[in-house]
Amino acid sequence: MGENRTAVSGYQRDQLKSKMEATYWDVIFGILQMWLCAVMGLIVFPAMFGVSLGFTDLYIKMLVKILEWATRRIQRGQKKQLELPAHLPNGIIQKNDGSMKEEIGELRRSHPKSLNGGDFMLSDVFYFCKKGIASIVEDEVTQRFTSEELASWNLLTRTNNNFHYISVRLTVIWGLGVFIRYCVLLPLRVTLAAIGLSWLVIGTTLVGLLPSSSVKEWLSDLIHITCYRICARGLSANIRYHNKENRPKKGGICVANHTSPIDVVILANDGCYAMVGQVHGGIMGVIQRAMVQSCPHVWFERSEMKDRHAVAKRLRDHVNDKTKLPILIFPEGTCINNTSVMMFKKGSFEIGATIYPVAIKYDPQFGDAFWNSAKYNMVSYLLRMMTSWAIVCNVWYLPPMNRLDGEDAVSFANRVKSAIARQEAWLIYHGTED
């Protein structure tokens, strides 16, 4: 009898354990279902139809209020500390505001035993060595490859001033922001990115099975723009497009300043483009092969990229077909920190197609969109993007430009670059209002 009771009690324990495990997994699946339903209903489906429910705008307004409060609190706290400059140089070398005479005089006082040769002392050499090395290490070009500095802290880790402890409230707000960014925004954005990319691969693969027709082109455009809209929502992107009448048209080339890999998402969120790039392997290769099945993107093998004539011929053949999407090219060839526009490579300006310049300006207050590829790999960069507050930017479509009679490709490239740079400068000095 005792053995039977033991067997029965053991069986009951196993049954109870099984029920508890089943309940545990039911709770997890229920939470996941609620999460996916909320994401699909409140974000994905509105994004697919290009509709905004206003959550992002409300979120940005709340961020602005919080950052303004934090800035005022920091400014009050700084009155009790050493006064710091409102805007430090964008680099690693600290520069003094004193004149050359003052700095050399200070060096001479610190080296009283230096050999005196009239108006020259041996210690003066240190001043000129310092200035020469500073000019080499941190010239104007080098500064374009470091993150843009901010006038005040945006409650992220990057800041132009070494702000120390100010108050308990500010510290609590920062800690709460870390929790929201990593425990709420990051999972949400990863989910949206997975949905968007899965939709792109599956959709373009299925559309690629259809015969060439206007319906296939329409479906391809719909899938591409839907994917990019979902990914843009995944970055909490708030984008304003200006002068839409100048949007790139088929048979042309769209050229834009380059700050980040997400420039493609920002532009393709408002229209479809044919992408140009090198063939990759891995996950990127899967996405490229799926995309090219439904849309004539221009992917090059590594050996082809070295042949300028072969590249120019394929691009020229593409733009000569007025039924194909405009090509999207970033002539700078690398990412710049969005404070200026660097030299454009002349390749895309030799083709002879109409050029549609586009100026993209990010607001660094909410997150640093610049990809410093020398400092961060792609995974680290995407993690920084998905844990930033938001991506806020303005896109200006500039009037189309054509190569003038007798104008060489270099002069044409410089003329287009100047137009984009002027718009960037206007945005810096006058803000983002129309």
Q: Are strands 120-121 and 116-117 parallel, antiparallel or unpaired?
A: antiparallel
Cβ atoms of residues 244 and 398 within 8 Å: no
Pair of tokens at residue 126? 């240190």
Name 187's Cβ contacts closer than 8 Å, sequence gap at least 6: none
DSSP 3-state of 105: helix
Q: Which pLDDT does position 84 carry in this prediction?
A: 45
Residue 401 and residue 349: Cα distance in Å, rounded?
11
Helix (H) or strand (E) holding 422: helix 409-430
State the virtual CA torsion across 285, 287, 288, 289 in degrees, nearest 10: 90
Cross-strand partners of 393: 239, 362
Neighbours of 353 (CB within 10 A): 20
d(CA 133, CA 112): 24
Residue keyed to tokens 């380059």: 258
- Exposure letters 291-320 (e unless 16+ CB within 10 A, then b): bbbbbbbbbbeeeeeeeeeebeeebeebbe
Coil/strand/helix, residue 240: strand
Classify 229 in phi/psi space as left (phi over 0), alpha (psi -120 to 50) or beta: alpha
What whole-number distance in Å separates Cα of residue 167 and Cα of residue 172? 9
Q: What is the pLDDT along the chain (434 residues), one digit of tens a residue?
A: 555 555 556 656 666 666 666 676 777 777 777 767 776 767 777 777 777 777 788 888 888 888 888 777 777 765 555 444 444 444 444 455 555 556 656 656 555 554 444 565 656 666 666 666 665 555 555 566 566 666 667 777 655 454 545 677 777 888 888 898 899 889 888 888 888 888 888 888 888 888 888 888 888 888 888 888 888 888 888 899 999 999 999 889 999 998 888 899 999 988 889 888 777 777 777 888 888 888 888 887 766 666 677 778 888 888 888 888 899 999 888 888 877 788 888 888 888 889 999 999 998 888 888 888 778 888 888 888 888 888 899 999 999 999 888 888 889 999 999 999 888 877 766 665 54
Strand order in the sheet with 274-278: 237-242, 391-397, 355-362, 253-256, 327-329, 274-278, 298-300
C-beta of residue 433 within 8 angstroms of C-beta of residue 361? no
- pTM of the full predicted structure? 0.75
What b/e readout covers 55-86, taking b as 16+ CB neighbours within 10 angstroms?
ebeeebeebeebbeebbebbeeeeeeeeeeee
Q: How far apart are CA 51 and CA 233, in angstroms?
A: 11
* Predicted local confidence at residue 115, as pLDDT: 46
Q: How far is Cα 381 from Cα 316, in angstroms, rounded to an integer? A: 34
Query: 120 phi and psi, to 5 degrees?
Result: -115, 135
Question: How far is the C-alpha of 311 from the C-alpha of 306, rounded, in Å?
Answer: 8
